[in-house]
């Protein structure tokens, strides 16, 4: 951690402060949202106005969506496990059943899909659904390679005036996200310089699991593997309870991106929401020894996103699996925060997690007179019910949902670039416009991943 910059910025005209002030005057500063007057859109959610939805990946995490989906017409269920399909069928008895999502997406009466499958299929399902003009809610992470994130975002950009998207980073609806954004933009810690984000989850594995007999009859294992290179069946990939089973497979390179896409999706979101960052121009990643089977438990990646309308260039860091930023003061033990963020500005630190935050004024301007908390009327509007925000958007509400595929693809592209730099073993320079690593041609192969024959992202 660098020593805090103690240059006084309060009441003076630092360039960043002027930028922030001008930005506040000239632009809407919602939590990634453009604030529009109420009544701009047709009233969503008339009782007759139900969506025809396919739930793909029908059990596990999908259970968390059942209540919201009960207000709609769930007309299709898809799951590679027929027992899971039967379970969901009891909740949504009118739905047709599928084991292959490619067939499910052919059903003609669909308006929208909710995707809760394994991570290695997310970008596939999302992109195929967008190609069919379907609204998409996709569980996090949206993608597990840079190529996938960019492709889904490109498709979304072509359709964003008619389709609603949301990535399952539902903690984004917590009020603390808005409060942190307001404090950063309003200058509670002066001019923003660095953001550290961390997660302490550790799920070490030695390698892919060994072959362990035939899959049970109810499980279509080949479809479970989907686009991923073949690995033999082992019940260890299916050993955790519903909603937690992703922790049985998401650390393997062919199935996920480990904590980068898991808790990283949620925790980086606290920062991403507050910093309006684009794709970083340079990235480093350091951690434990590279294992070709398993993503790293311990790793730190560092990103350099460019300046934007309201701040200068900053540094963003992601720490996982035991790596941690250094606390600015001995009596604040960051290790007590399992998944947290720390913003460093010219006048102090803001430390927080999903629900709480604390301010640590520091440097020469600790009087705080430079900072005026917002009036209640100026607080950012709450997101409300996260899934419902998307459902309302599908029905003609504001298409600019909190975690749409622009916001979320950018964030996961950044996070995966950290893994790319870690695998490359050195700093990478990156051109976000072309999606190319510019300082090492060979490293570009790490931006995509291998698929089995017959699987294509563009379906």
Minimum distance from residue 116 beta carbon to ligand NAD (Å):
5
Out of 31, 32, 55, 61, point to the residue binding ligand NAD (CB under 6 A): 61
| Residue of 413, 265, 257, 268 whose CA lies nearest to 353 | 268
Q: Which of residues 25-54 bind ligand NAD (CB under 6 A)?
A: none
Q: Does 119 bind ligand NAD (CB under 6 A)?
A: yes
Minimum distance from residue 169 beta carbon to ligand NAD (Å):
7
- Minimum CB distance to ligand NAD smaller for 232 or for 361: 232
How many angstroms separate the CA atoms of 6 and 250, rounded? 42
- Minimum CB distance to ligand NAD smaller for 31 or for 116: 116
Q: Does 56 bind ligand NAD (CB under 6 A)?
A: yes
How many angstroms separate the CA atoms of 436 and 432, rounded? 7
- Minimum CB distance to ligand NAD smaller for 170 or for 300: 170
| Residue of 239, 268, 266 whose CA lies nearest to 60 | 239
| Residue of 169, 69, 67, 48 whose CA lies nearest to 113 | 69
Query: Mask of contacts with ligand NAD, 255-294, x by CB under 6 A?
Result: -------x--------------------------------
Q: Does 428 bind ligand NAD (CB under 6 A)?
A: no
Q: Does 166 bind ligand NAD (CB under 6 A)?
A: no
For the CA atoms of 161, 431, 408, 379, the dihedral, rounded to the nearest 10 degrees, stands at: -90
Neighbours of 266 (CB within 10 A): 17
Instruction: Please give the distance of CA 211 from its chain centroid, rounded to a whole number.
Output: 32
Determine phi and psi for 57, rounding to 5 degrees: 85, 85
Q: Does 101 bind ligand NAD (CB under 6 A)?
A: yes
Handedness of CA 418, 424, 428, 433 (dihedral sign): negative
Q: Does 117 bind ligand NAD (CB under 6 A)?
A: yes
Minimum distance from residue 247 beta carbon to ligand NAD (Å):
7
Out of 129, 184, 223, 443, point to the residue binding ligand NAD (CB under 6 A): 223
Contact range with ligand NAD by CB under 6 A, out of 19-27, 38-46, 222-230, 278-286: 222-230
Instruction: Give the length of the chain.
Output: 459
Determine phi and psi for 2, rounding to 5 degrees: -75, 155
Minimum distance from residue 399 beta carbon to ligand NAD (Å):
21
Minimum distance from residue 311 beta carbon to ligand NAD (Å):
29
Q: Does 107 bind ligand NAD (CB under 6 A)?
A: no
Q: Which two tokens stand for residue 11?
A: 């009441």
Out of 4, 32, 89, 168, point to the residue binding ligand NAD (CB under 6 A): 168
Minimum distance from residue 257 beta carbon to ligand NAD (Å):
10
Give CA angle at 421 (321, 3), nearest 5°: 65
Minimum distance from residue 53 beta carbon to ligand NAD (Å):
15
Q: Does 323 bind ligand NAD (CB under 6 A)?
A: no
Out of 74, 76, 110, 116, point to the residue binding ligand NAD (CB under 6 A): 116
Out of 10, 127, 170, 178, point to the residue binding ligand NAD (CB under 6 A): 170
Out of 121, 196, 320, 404, point to the residue binding ligand NAD (CB under 6 A): 121
| Residue of 304, 352, 315, 312 whose CA lies nearest to 332 | 352
Minimum distance from residue 176 beta carbon to ligand NAD (Å):
16
376-402: b or e for each residue (b if 16 or more CB lie within 10 Å)? eeeebeebeebbbbbbbbbbebbbbbb
Q: Does 347 bind ligand NAD (CB under 6 A)?
A: no
Minimum distance from residue 19 beta carbon to ligand NAD (Å):
34
Give CA angle at 293 (289, 298), nearest 5°: 40
Out of 60, 287, 325, 340, point to the residue binding ligand NAD (CB under 6 A): 60
Q: Which two tokens stand for residue 282?
A: 């340079």
- Minimum CB distance to ligand NAD smaller for 262 or for 353: 262
Q: Does 244 bind ligand NAD (CB under 6 A)?
A: yes
Out of 69, 246, 275, 420, point to the residue binding ligand NAD (CB under 6 A): 246
- Minimum CB distance to ligand NAD smaller for 173 or for 246: 246
How many angstroms separate the CA atoms of 264 and 5, rounded? 28
Residues that bind ligand NAD (CB under 6 A): 56-61, 78-81, 84, 101, 116-119, 121, 139-140, 168, 170, 223-224, 226, 243-246, 262
């Amino acid at each position: 951690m660098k020593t805090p910059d103690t240059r006084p910025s309060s009441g003076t005209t630092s360039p960043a402060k002027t930028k922030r002030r001008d930005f506040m005057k000239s632009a809407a500063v919602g939590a990634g949202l453009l604030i529009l007057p109420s009544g701009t859109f047709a009233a969503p959610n008339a009782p007759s106005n139900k969506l025809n939805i396919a739930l793909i990946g029908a059990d596990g995490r999908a259970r968390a969506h059942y209540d919201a989906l009960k207000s709609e017409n769930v007309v299709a269920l898809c799951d590679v496990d027929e027992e899971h399909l039967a379970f969901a069928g009891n909740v949504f008895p009118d739905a047709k059943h599928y084991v292959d999502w490619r067939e499910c997406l052919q059903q003609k009466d669909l308006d929208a899909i909710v995707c809760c499958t394994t991570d290695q299929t997310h970008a596939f399902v999302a992109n195929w659904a967008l190609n069919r003009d379907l609204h998409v809610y996709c569980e996090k992470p949206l993608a597990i390679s840079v190529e996938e994130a960019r492709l889904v975002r490109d498709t979304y950009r072509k359709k964003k005036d008619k389709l609603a998207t949301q990535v399952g980073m539902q903690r984004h609806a917590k009020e603390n996200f808005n409060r942190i954004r307001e404090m950063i933009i309003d200058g509670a810690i002066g001019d923003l310089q660095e953001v550290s984000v961390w997660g302490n989850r550790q799920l070490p594995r030695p390698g892919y699991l060994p072959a362990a007999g035939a899959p049970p009859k109810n499980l279509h294992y080949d479809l479970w593997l989907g686009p991923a290179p073949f690995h033999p069946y082992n019940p260890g990939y299916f050993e955790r309870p519903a909603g937690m089973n992703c922790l049985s497979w998401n650390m393997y390179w062919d199935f996920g991106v480990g904590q980068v896409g898991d808790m990283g999706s949620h925790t980086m979101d606290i920062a991403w929401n507050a910093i309006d960052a684009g794709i970083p121009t340079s990235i480093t990643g350091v951690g434990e020894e590279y294992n070709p089977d398993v993503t790293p438990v311990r790793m730190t990646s560092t990103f350099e996103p460019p300046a934007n309308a309201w701040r200068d260039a900053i540094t963003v860091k992601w720490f996982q699996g035991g790596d941690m930023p250094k606390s600015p003061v001995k009596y604040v033990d960051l290790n007590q925060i399992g998944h947290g963020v720390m913003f460093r500005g010219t006048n102090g630190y803001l430390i927080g997690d999903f629900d709480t935050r604390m301010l640590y004024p520091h440097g020469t301007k600790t009087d705080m007179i430079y900072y005026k908390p917002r009036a209640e009327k100026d607080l950012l509007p709450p997101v409300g019910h996260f899934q419902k925000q998307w459902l309302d958007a599908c029905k003609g509400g504001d298409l600019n949902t909190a975690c749409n595929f622009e916001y979320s693809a950018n964030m996961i592209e950044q996070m995966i670039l950290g893994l790319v730099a870690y695998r490359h073993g050195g700093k990478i320079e990156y051109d976000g416009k072309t999606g190319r690593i510019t300082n090492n041609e060979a490293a570009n192969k790490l931006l995509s991943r291998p698929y089995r024959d017959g699987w294509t992202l563009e379906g």
